[in-house]
Structure 1
Amino acid sequence: MTPDAAQRHVIDAAVSASGVVIGAPGTGKTTTLVARVIALLEVHALPPEALLVLTPSRQAATHLRDAIGVRIGQATPGPLARSLASFAFQVVRAAAVRAGEEPPALLTGADQDRIIADLLAGDADDEADGAPSRWPAQLSPAVRASTGFRSELRAFLAECTERGVTAAELRASDNETWRSVGDFLTEYRAVQEHMRSAHRDIPDLVSEAAALLRRVDDATLGPLSDLRIVLIDDAQELTPGGVSLVRALRARGIAVLAFGDPDISSGTFRGASPQLFDELVTSLERVFVLEEPTVRSRR
């Protein structure tokens, strides 16, 4: 499909352009992103290591990797499209290796659920033995044993990590449930620290990567020090940690183009929201708008 004027405006933008590309479903956001990648590599002759496409999910990253791979006519030192978690892992790992520390290991969702389930089961056993409960009465052992509660608790812990909320702050809250979660978070972190490897969950990795990008020198980042441009697909799915990572990239002088539609976010349970997308717009300042498909079809 031949790009229309709005798409061409994005594709042909200056190499250093940063901004948010907003488009409804069917306006060709991903198609425009891929065309932008091709233009940067072939028209502007950027080396592949200067460019990276990020997306919140691994599945979307795989799709983009394939879509870009069939269009470019040159070898690349690695995949041009990666998940946000994969990129964060690379940043944290590079810094650990540089510092002579043990490289991190990813704490998977299944690992997290197992730890949370074990800790909650321990609470229930203590209560059965007569110990006072740290949880409010409405959160009975039966409620806490449910998959739904574990999922909500895991999402809440991730939100705390991404927003920098500490266990001490939760324990100081007027909210009884939050105080309980603060106690639980302290124990959860203790379990992580005693694991054989330096385990991090995805929110930990993203938060740590954002902090590293703000303070370390290029030598610490290794191959990532050549990065000049980042394009983000499905930016409406970014969590608070993802938006913080974007800000850290910009603070480092890396151009960021984020493609998304704030009206279709499916990641609200992970903290994504239209308000966060507004923060992204504020951080990247410039806005490109792709036309509605009905407008294009009348041309």
Structure 2
Amino acid sequence: MDRVTWDAAQRAVIDLPADASGVVVGAPGSGKTATAIARVGALVRPPAGHTRGALLPDEVLVLTPSRTSATALRDRLALAVDVATPGALARSIVAFAYQIIRADAVHRGDPAPQLLTGPDEDQVIADLLAGDCEDEAEGFTRWPSSLPAAVRSTRAFRAELRALLAECAQLGISPDGLSDLAAQHGVAEWAAAASFSREYLYARDRMRGAHRDAAGLVREALGLVRTLPAGAPGLAALERLRAIVVDDAQELTLGGVELLEACRSRGVAVLAFGDPDVGSGSFRGASPENFSRLAAAGPCTCWSGAPRHDA
């Protein structure tokens, strides 16, 4: 079997105390994900002669920006920890937010939330935009001349509109808030988007079940983590955690970063791995500034070399 050889910086990260928080920066191919997995193994796997690791499996969680990347990590994490776990160690940041919101809803006797998927959200937006075209035929115009019906009928426009709605949700900007910004800066497109946002939220809230989009889930979970008192049933899963390891942290949106900060303020160690130069999630609101915000809040370790596999 191959034996992995870590350089000094990687070994220092793997062997950090269980309560260490910070940011780990590495270039593409430098072994960030492998080191993150080894870090989890070091926290959970019992050393020789011991019956348990520094932390129990349900005290550690690996978060990623997407469900796809979380799924890809699960088998590798299972091999690294080599102990029984109560569930998957890796989840997306949205799945983590959903867990918090669902627990709080169940405690209060409210319906469990349902995630409004990307295709579903696109269909809602497309239907509302089609309604706008019908209204224009009757003389009512919401959108400025810079955004004619031919533009609004394209998939690219719907994607941009979805991104704007998600960014407003991430930043906590209500339709009224966006309307105020439009008036302050004289941007007719923002005023139209504010009006559209009101209608979109109304349509979403009238759907069967308690639907949330991804940005809304993260924003709502952030509010609960910030405001619920210690011991609240809705935060039971979070309060069991002692360490969160984040892979591909450069892809986090502002809401995801703020949720991690809120977890850290409740005493959970957060160690984030990423490279701000390779972010690809700008369409979802991810940006190097979000990653820099994480880095500014704690120690930062950098390296450039990948681990070696020796026979």
Q: What TM-score, normalized to structure 1?
A: 0.95
Match status 1:258 vs 2:266: no
The letter for the 2-side match of 1:121 is A
**What is residue 286 of structure 1 aligned with on the other side?**
299
SS in structure 2 at match of 1:70: helix
Equivalent of residue 144 in structure 1, options 152, 156, 160: 152
**1:221 aligned to 2:235?**
yes
Match of 1:83 among 65, 71, 92: 92
Q: Check conservation: 1:134, 1:180, Cα contact below 8 A.
A: yes
- Maintained 8 Å contact 2:40/2:80: no
Verify: 1:51 aligned to 2:60, yes or no.
Answer: yes
- Matched letter for residue 227 of structure 2: R
Tell me the SS of whatever aligns to 2:81: coil
- The match for 1:233 is 247
Residue type at the aligned position of 1:136: P
Contact 2:122 2:158 in 1 (8 A): yes
SS of the equivalent of 1:118 reads helix
Contact 2:225–2:263 under 8 Å retained in 1: yes
Question: Which residue is equivalent to 2:161?
Answer: 153
Deviation string 1:97-135 (CA, Å, 9 cap, x unpaired) is 11111110110001100110010000000111222x110
Aligned residue for 2:200? 188
Task: State the AA in 2 paired with 1:197.
Answer: G
> Distance in 1 between the 2:139 and 2:71 partners?
51
Aligned to 2:104: 95
How far did 1:12 drift? 0.5
Offset at residue 5 of structure 1 (A)? 0.5
| TM-score normalised by the chain length of structure 2 | 0.91
Output the amino acid matched with 1:220: G
In structure 1, the residue matched to 2:187 is: 175
* Aligned mates of 1:82, 1:67 — CA distance in 2: 13
Partner of 1:120: 129
Change (3 A) 1:292 1:74: closer
Amino-acid identity (%)? 51
Which ranges of structure 2 fall in alignment gaps of 5 or more residues?
A: 48-52
> Is the Cα–Cα contact under 8 Å of residues 230 and 257 in structure 1 kept in the other structure?
yes
How far did residue 293 of structure 1 move?
A: 4.8
Pick from 4, 14, 22: which aligns with 1:19?
22
- Cα distance, 1:220 vs structure 2: 2.2
Q: CA deviation at 1:257?
A: 0.2
State the AA in 2 paired with 1:97.
V
Q: Please give the root-mean-square deviation of Cα atoms over the aligned residues, in Å.
A: 1.5
DSSP 3-state at the match of 2:77: helix
Q: Distance in 1 between matches of 2:85 and 2:159?
A: 39
- 2:172 aligned to 140, 164, 175, which one? 164
Whichever residue aligns with residue 264 of structure 1, its letter is V
TM-aligned CA distance change 1:223 to 1:246, over 3 Å: closer
Shift of 1:45: 3.3
Counterpart selection for 1:211 from 223, 240, 259: 223
What 5-or-longer segments of structure 1 have no aligned partner? none
Contact 1:206-1:242 at 8 Å conserved across structures: yes
Letter in 2 for 1:282: A
Larger deviation: 261-270 or 69-78?
69-78
Give the Cα separation in 2 of the matches to 1:210 and 1:35: 29
Amino acid in structure 2 at the alignment position of 1:26: G
Deviations 1:32-73 (A, max 9, x none): 001100100024431111000000011110111111112222
Report if aligned partners of 1:6, 1:291 keep a CA contact under 8 Å in 2.
no
Q: Supply the distance in 2 between the matched residues of 1:213 and 1:165 (Cα, whole angstroms).
A: 19
Report the secondary structure of 1:9's partner residue. Answer: helix
In the TM superposition, 1:66-77 aligns within 5 A as 66-77=75-86
Kept in 2, the 8 Å contact 1:155–1:270? The answer is: yes
